[in-house]
Structure 1
Amino acid sequence: MGKKKPSSSDAQLKLFSAIFTDIVTRDTQETMEVPFLSLSKKPRFTPINYTSNGVKVIVSGGEPYGIANIWDWDLIMWLLSQIRQALDFGEPISRKVRFSRRAFLKEARREVGGAQYGRLEKSIARLKNTTVTTTIRAPEGKTVMFNWIEYVEIDRDTDGYLQNVVVILPEWLFEAVCERKLILSIHKDYFLLTGGLERWLYRFVRKQAGNNKSGWTWKLRTLHERSGSLQRYSDFVGYIRKIASKQQLLDYKLNFFSKNKEYFLHAQRVFVKENVVTEVEVPPSRLVNFLSLKTTTYEKAKQIAPGYDIYALEDDWRKATAKNSLKLQNPDVAFLAWCKKVAERNPLYSSNR
């Protein structure tokens, strides 16, 4: 490890801006192999209660939001991937993260618009509302309790939709992403999977089967228990059978079969060059040199270009700078000058408004 995580006793967390694009998506191994999330878009208020081999997990979430679901988890994976990318590049990191709606939705391969902004805010609310109690990575004889998001601060646009967000992640997640052995890369097309059980199955198989040449086989009863699903076992078997009938789930070949009146699933990774996500990454040159814009620079930019999505302006500025191969002595000054030029050319508010 090249960096040590900030101490929990830090009185003031530094702000980390999530700005990387086209990076490998990571997930935490522990959340991939035991149930931590609802698999349905319908609000779930029934707690997840899982105990096995000394591991205990209780996940709860009351009215009006319920427990965070597997689509809400897209945001957590993306935020952790941003932190891991910065850590790999030796940049300052923090569990206090700022991001723009546009950046997340684009990387999660979702549409951009009011409906998605509303869904994103609901996801944040469910993640904040979900309480986890677990013995995983807790000192012996102890348990830890946390929410998937500890704190949220939302900037809104003129229509009232969330625009830019600051969140504080729990130390439990932050510690995981700081330890490379506790995270795994996932397939680039994971965000395109539409079914909750399909998403869960891929994550579980990715963790359990990994790159094992001969693959791995599980009883369906084990899968049912590990999923935390509220479905009856018979219905669960039907859904897994349906998924397996397609023969492949992203980069895993699936085989559903029965033996001695018991159902089984076998998964084996298929190494197709264009589909395999690797840990070999090329630093996005248009971003690396500008990771450390000052917090005050963003505040000044909002005043210089009122009404604009500052992080969208920042993204455009980075691309233009890279395209023109500019070497900047003072990125903060250059970015503010860019904002001023854009606002003067196309003001969103009149000076006497």
Structure 2
Amino acid sequence: MARLQASRAKRGAPAALRTPPKDDSQRDLFTLFIADVAGKDVRGTMDVALFRLSKRVTRASGIITYRLPDGTVQVTGGPMGMATAWDFDIVLLAISQLTEAANRWRAGKGPKPSRTIRPHASEVLSFCRRSGGGDQYQWIREALRRLGTTTITVDRKSKSGRLEMEAEPLLSRVGVFSGESTDRIGALEFDVPVWIYREVVECEKPGVLTVHEDYFLIQSGIGRFLYRLFRRAAGRTSASWSFALLFERSGSSGTQKEFNRTLRGLIAEDELPEYTLKEAAGQDGPILVATYRGCSEAAGRGG
């Protein structure tokens, strides 16, 4: 992190990663502190953005539709706005804690986990690498509202050829509770969607991938979308996509031209966790190549 910040300051470039909070390395003494659990994501959700990329454009009651080879994914925002890429950090916390509990259950060291997650607000902030200021607690309230009213609808054909549909909010049955002597929120409670629970707990081979801890420091929504896509498709090798396909898969509310400008800025900064980026010429337009740092494999996979 220090090397990246020094390099950025030298060339006067904008920050791809924000500076961690001052108390980032401090941990309260929980039996199993959530912030010490490796961040996890569900593989099946990482090739499209299940959230909006902009903090400014709320997309209240808006719809993003992704047409994929095996069906359609639709993201529908609630009246208070669609959940953001930063709100989705709370979903990653839920996936991470659920994965940890499921691993203990499979090892015979605990009960089968339920869909209900009960973190403390301070644990959420620490896991998401945020400071403990009062405005951060307000963010938790608002994020949970948006996550509870942003619905994911999946239409895809089964192996038998039948069209199947599932629709659920990113989090359901959301509860926020404050202490008796303070208005500051404390305990939280929410249920993960059935499709996440099924993938993490009930699948014989869970489709869960570890997310680098610096993912939570990525400043731009497009940068967050790209990292999740790289982590799924490139892994420890490399992968490539056309700029046009990335724009389509991002659900960006901007134009292709604006999106391309952001991509080129991220390529120039070269600060996203784990992957180095370069632009290449393609038959139908520019291509982004993401390569795992230290990987010498030139040929990539992707779309």
Shorter-chain TM-score range: 0.7 to 0.9
Once residues 124 and 105 of structure 1 are traced to their aligned partners in structure 2, the CA distance between those partners, rounded to angstroms, is 13
Q: Where do residues 337-348 of structure 1 align in structure 2 (5 Å cutoff)? A: none
TM-score normalised by length of structure 1:
0.67
- Cα displacement (A) at 1:160: 2.4
Which residue of the other structure, out of 138, 143, 147, is the alignment partner of 2:169?
Answer: 147
Corresponding residue for 2:212?
A: 187
Contact 1:60 1:66 in 2 (8 A): no
1:52 to partner: Cα distance? 2.2
Q: Does 1:54 align with 2:70?
A: yes
2:92 equivalent in structure 1: 77
1:79 aligned counterpart, secondary structure? helix
Shift of 1:184: 0.8
Change over 3 Å in CA distance of 1:137–1:75 after alignment to 2: farther
1:5-63 Cα shifts (integer Å, max 9, x gaps)? xxxxxxxxxxxx98544121100112210231111112123211111213211111232
Matches within 5 A, 1:317-336: none
Distance 1:163 1:263, change over 3 A: same
Q: Is the 8 A contact 1:218 1:264 kept in 2?
A: yes
Instruction: Give the drift of 1:149.
Output: 1.2
Choose which of 100, 116, 119 in structure 2 pairs with 1:99.
Answer: 119
Q: CA deviation at 1:208?
A: 1.2
TM-score with structure 2 length normalisation?
0.78
Deviations 1:131-150 (A, max 9, x none): 11102597841100111111
Map 1:222-241 → 2, pairs under 5 A: 222-241=245-264
Counterpart CA distance in 2 for 1:245 and 1:236 is 14
One-letter amino acid of the structure 2 residue matched with residue 168 of structure 1: D
Structure with the greater alpha carbon radius of gyration: 1
Report the CA distance shift for 1:116/1:231 in structure 2 as closer, same or farther (over 3 A): same
Q: Residues 61 and 67 of structure 1 are in contact (CA less than 8 Å); yes or no, is this contact kept in structure 2?
A: yes
Whichever residue aligns with residue 116 of structure 1, its letter is: Q
Residues 137 and 193 of structure 1: CA distance in aligned 2, closer, same or farther (over 3 Å): farther
- Match of 1:35, SS state, is coil
The answer as to 2:172 corresponding to 1:118 is: no
**8 Å contact 1:35–1:48 — kept in the other structure?**
no
Query: CA, structure 1 residues 137+18, in 2 after alignment: closer, same or farther (shift >3 Å)?
Result: farther
Do structure 1's residue 263 and structure 2's residue 286 form an aligned pair? yes
The aligned length equals 253
Would you say 1:24 and 2:44 are equivalent positions?
no
Give yes or no for contact 1:72–1:123 (8 Å, CA) kept in 2. yes
Secondary structure of the corresponding residue to residue 142 of structure 1: strand
Q: Which amino acid aligns with 2:92?
A: M
State the partner residue of 1:309.
none
What code does the residue aligned with 2:47 have? E
Q: Which has the higher contact order (CA 8 A, sep 6+)?
A: 2
Q: Counterpart in 1 of 2:227?
A: 202
CA contact (8 A) 1:153 1:167 kept: yes
**Which residue identity is paired with 2:236?**
N
Contact kept? 1:19, 1:99, Cα under 8 Å: no
Question: Unaligned regions of 5+ residues in structure 1, if any?
Answer: 1-16, 273-353
Q: Deviations over 1:107-152 (max 9, x none)?
A: 2110112111000110000000111110259784110011111102
1:261 shift after superposition: 6.2
Q: Secondary structure at the match of 1:264?
A: strand
